[in-house]
């Protein structure tokens, strides 16, 4: 919960943290997945195949697909046990070692998430709306760094791509979590292969487009999430938030309960928001462009006005 994305040195790198290949239930080979993201102008991806016994617990070694302008992070979508309605846990781990130990049958979701974090991974709670994850269940993943506020595949396939409601609920519990947007692409629709891809990403601030630098920036919260709009800068002076962004029709600060402050208007590229009503509590920013696409800042704390 900080302004690290706008205060630390470096530049923004566009990346997708959640994608699948034919090493699990995707259609394309890992190299082709990497090629497509590089061709679409992405700076990096994490190929996060399902870490399950039926696929041989894969962590795809995407290092051969790195170039001087495109890199990859190693990781997986890990699973274990079951949540209250019977589905297994879905947890994203970005930055796992290739020799990460397979999941034990007795391992719980929180234990698996903690083991991923201890191995050096950036851990995220993924597509909570898609599989009906309950707030009290999500709250047990205390090692998580972030929640998917948008999952493109879940939105396209089932209209259940959201997660901001879960982020807000856990912030109200006092947890410190950030917001990511991802594709979760599988490339299964052969005649419309971008159906579930290139729809949600993170913009990570780092001095180099290299795995260690990107992973450090992710863990430090030096990023924002987007479907299209850009957040160029955010500065908080007292309780006044100054925002610089790409053209937007709405710049909205959101907080606990129904608290919000909005600037609505055509082609806004700057906003000045009075956050007095959020003093002493958390707040986060949402940008909406003319096409209805969103960008999400990470949450931050507003100092007590007194």
Domains and CATH numbers, the chain: 4-225 (3.20.20.140), 231-301 (2.60.40)
The confidence score (pLDDT) of residue 1 equals 66
Q: In angstroms, rounded to a whole number, what is the distance separating the alpha carbons of residues 108 and 46?
A: 24
Tokens encoding 141: 């993943």
Q: How confident is the model at residue 189 (pLDDT cuts 50, 70, 90)?
A: confident
The per-residue pLDDT for range 204-221, each reduced to its tens digit, is 999 999 999 999 999 999
pTM strictly above 0.85: yes
The per-residue pLDDT for range 131-176, each reduced to its tens digit, is 999 999 999 999 999 999 999 999 999 999 999 999 999 999 999 9
- Measuring CA to CA, which residue among 187, 136, 121 is closest to residue 157? 187
The per-residue pLDDT for range 238-279, each reduced to its tens digit, is 999 999 999 999 999 999 999 999 999 999 999 999 999 999
Tokens encoding 207: 């001095």
Strands 260-274 and 231-237, by their bridges, are unpaired
Q: How confident is the model at residue 192 (pLDDT cuts 50, 70, 90)?
A: low
The per-residue pLDDT for range 86-116, each reduced to its tens digit, is 999 999 999 999 999 999 989 999 999 999 9
Q: In angstroms, rounded to a whole number, what is the distance separating the alpha carbons of residues 266 and 209?
A: 34
Q: In angstroms, rounded to a whole number, what is the distance separating the alpha carbons of residues 60 and 81?
A: 23
Mean pLDDT (the chain) is 96
Q: What is the mean pLDDT of residues 22-39?
A: 97
The per-residue pLDDT for range 66-84, each reduced to its tens digit, is 999 999 999 999 999 999 9
Q: In angstroms, rounded to a whole number, what is the distance separating the alpha carbons of residues 229 and 233?
A: 12
Q: What share of the chain is helix, strand, coil (3-state, %, to 5)?
A: 20, 35, 45
Cβ pair 167, 149 in contact under 8 A: yes
Q: How many CA atoms lie within 13 A of 61 on its CB side?
A: 4
């Amino acid at each position: 919960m900080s302004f690290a994305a706008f205060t630390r040195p470096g530049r923004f790198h566009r990346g997708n943290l959640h994608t699948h290949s034919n090493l699990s239930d995707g259609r394309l080979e890992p190299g082709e997945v990497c090629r497509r993201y590089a061709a679409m102008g992405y700076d990096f991806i994490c190929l996060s195949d399902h870490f399950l016994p039926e696929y041989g617990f894969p962590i795809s070694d995407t290092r051969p697909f790195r170039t001087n302008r495109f890199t990859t992070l190693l990781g997986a979508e890990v699973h274990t046990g079951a949540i209250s309605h019977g589905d297994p846990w879905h947890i994203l781990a970005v930055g796992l070692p290739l020799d990460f130990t397979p999941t034990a049958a007795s391992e719980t979701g929180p234990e698996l998430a903690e083991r991923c974090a201890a191995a050096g991974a950036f851990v995220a709670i993924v597509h909570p709306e898609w599989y009906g994850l309950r707030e009290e269940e999500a709250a047990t993943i205390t090692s998580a760094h972030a929640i998917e506020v948008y999952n493109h595949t879940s939105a396209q396939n089932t209209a259940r791509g959201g997660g901001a409601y879960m982020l807000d609920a856990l912030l109200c519990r006092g947890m410190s979590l950030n917001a990511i947007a991802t594709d979760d692409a599988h490339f299964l629709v052969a005649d419309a292969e971008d159906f579930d891809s290139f729809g949600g990403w993170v913009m990570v601030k780092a001095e180099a487009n290299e795995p260690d630098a990107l992973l450090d920036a992710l863990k430090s919260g030096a990023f924002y999430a987007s479907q299209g709009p850009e957040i160029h800068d955010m500065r908080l002076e007292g309780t006044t938030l100054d925002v610089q962004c790409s053209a937007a029709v709405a710049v909205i600060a959101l907080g606990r309960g129904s608290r919000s402050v909005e600037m609505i208007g055509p082609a806004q590229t700057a906003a000045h928001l009075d956050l007095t009503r959020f003093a002493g509590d958390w707040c986060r920013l949402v940008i909406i462009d003319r096409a209805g696409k969103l960008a999400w800042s990470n949450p931050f704390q507003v100092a007590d006005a007194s």
